[in-house]
A = this chain, B = another copy of it.
Amino acid sequence: MPIYKAPIEDTMFVLYDVLKMEAYGNLPGFADAPRDLVEAIVNEGAKFCEEVLQPLNVVGDTVGCRRNADGTVTTPPGFKEAYKQYQEGGWMGLAFDPEYGGQGLPATVNTVVGEFMSSANLAWGMYPGLTQGAMAALHVHANDEIKRTYLPKMTTGEWTGTMNLTEPHCGTDLGMLRTKAVPNGDGSYRISGQKIFISAGEHDMAENIVHLVLARIEGAPAGTKGISLFVVPKFLPTPDNKPGQRNGVSCGKIEEKMGIHGNATCVMNYDEATGWLVGQENKGLNAMFVMMNEARLSVGVQGLSQSEVAYQNAVAYAKDRIQGRALSGPKAPEKAADPIIVHPDVRRTLMTLRAVNEAGRALMLWTALMADVSHRSEDAGERQKAEDHLGLMTPIIKGVLTDLGFDNAVKAQQMYGGHGYINEWGMGQFVRDARIAMIYEGANGIQALDLVGRKLGANGGRAVMSFFNEVGTFCAQNKDDATVGPFIGSLSKGLKDLQAATMWFMQNAMAKPDNAGAGSTPYMHMFGLVAMGYMWAKMAKVAQEKLVAGANGSTDRMNAKLVTARFFFEQMMPETGAHLARIQAGADSMMALAADAF
């Protein structure tokens, strides 16, 4: 059976030593969450994830969700009960607006718990995850009446949420969507159409399900300019806000899929279902983007989460499994063979995962903190800078951490040899579950295009320039440092490659946009490497400071930070050079063949 232990110490190190979270005490909600409270919450969240969610992970995969003849859906054994505990713990509203029953704590803390939940049980974590995303979208765009009706119920977790975008013929290109909305004359609409791939679309864990649905109001313009967002509850709320009459929306089918079997991925049929407009007519995509951006970050966290849990299991196996002898001579002569952790190639795997997990966590928490700043700061300049960071890093966190999360789950599985391929050890589930994160909420190719086509040039390149400036300044300030200095050469080289690629796009993509599309995926990964490299350099600096200060009890962990930083800069950062070459080669070799030649 797989194991999982929430990485509490590393999380606290990132939050308080690296990101200096205590310096944000002026933000609303942050003053109410001093370090000891945050630590207590994180510990409590860890306990719930380790003791309640993780033991349900395999059963979720094995049993899956079942659609019953009456269209109801039964979730795997134990899922419902775990959700009840989650509700009782008040987790859903942890960071949500107190006006609607939330606790208003930093969203960063919610992100921490989100990582733990996904590591413990990705499929389960999607139910509350989607609910929180829907809450965010309603909070920003819905009118007061809708907010008062839905948000308090969702904050307690009594009602869950979904997002309904994809249709059979359109996913990425939402401009083609056909689901239609006809005004009833009383402010409500009749929604009809079919949505597919709707995660948590139907289940037995909550008394009501709140669907956020993109549809086209009759007579609206074609394309993305005619899409509106609607709230469509499974049961229409009664005047006293109880689930009332069954609405015309139902689950037609649960998809058979590669993984996340514990989550019901539904075909949802809308047959004149009653819905209410969220935000303005024809501005639905804009409103949905709040939810999508939240979701993209959460999905990046899912990628990281699978890498983390796969790492932990791989470590346990590598220490336990004996096979062969160390190249440098027996390390466990009393045994018939050495534990495989003595082998350098096994170490390469473990160190790769470790380097990605720890830098990925730092990058994700930095970005989560910037999300809090962007939503809560009273300083417009600070807010803008935070928003810039958030916009820039969202596609990188989603695209890079999910690609690496999957790769790492595969690497961890590989270390088990044949035992990784059979179900018994559970490593295959991490691979199959991690796979979805590369696909949903915008396939990673779309993230790369978002980065290159939208985020790079936004506001005259303000966000990217600010990032380059920050990393460049750090390099300049630390290049002669005895500990961090040796890493700065590699980080500077990575930054230089990234800047050269950015410059190349500026010079070559205007006249020929295919050059941007062709280089987008290597560019996204290059950016991810530099961002993670920056995290490693910062973490190394802090670790060294703590070692010098004689940090009690964490010497080994801080020494390990320095070793892992070195591994990252030696083994992973060199990839930026190859990416730069790929980008600068341009689109020609990709576009030269006629479609018929394939």
Contact = CB atoms under 8 A, between A and B. Distances in A.
The copy count of this chain in the complex is 2
A150 to B, nearest CB: 27
A41 interface: no
B339 A595 contact: yes
Contact of A196 (B170, B418, B444, B591): B418
A436 B423 contact: no
A256 B560 CA distance: 38
Contacts of A166: 418
A514 B171 contact: no
B590 A351 contact: yes
Interface in A535-588: 556, 559-560, 563-564, 566-567, 570-571, 574-575, 577-578, 581-582, 585, 587-588
A423 B598 contact: no
A345 B445 contact: yes
A90 interface: no
A212 B176 CA distance: 59
Contacts of A440: 418
Contacts of A520: 344-345
Contact of A170 (B169, B323, B406, B414): B323
Given A350-B598, A563-B589, 14 more contacts: A171-B417, A172-B417, A176-B336, A257-B422, A319-B595, A344-B591, A347-B518, A351-B589, A410-B435, A420-B439, A560-B597, A564-B593, A566-B589, A577-B578
14 contacts: A172-B323, A173-B323, A256-B424, A258-B423, A343-B445, A343-B517, A347-B587, A347-B591, A348-B518, A414-B439, A414-B445, A559-B597, A567-B589, A570-B581
Interface of A: 166, 169-173, 175-176, 196-197, 255-259, 265, 315, 318-319, 322-324, 327-328, 336-337, 339, 341-348, 350-351, 354, 406, 410, 413-414, 417-418, 420-424, 428, 431-432, 435-436, 438-440, 443-445, 448-449, 512-518, 520-521, 556, 559-560, 563-564, 566-567, 570-571, 574-575, 577-578, 581-582, 585, 587-593, 595, 597-598
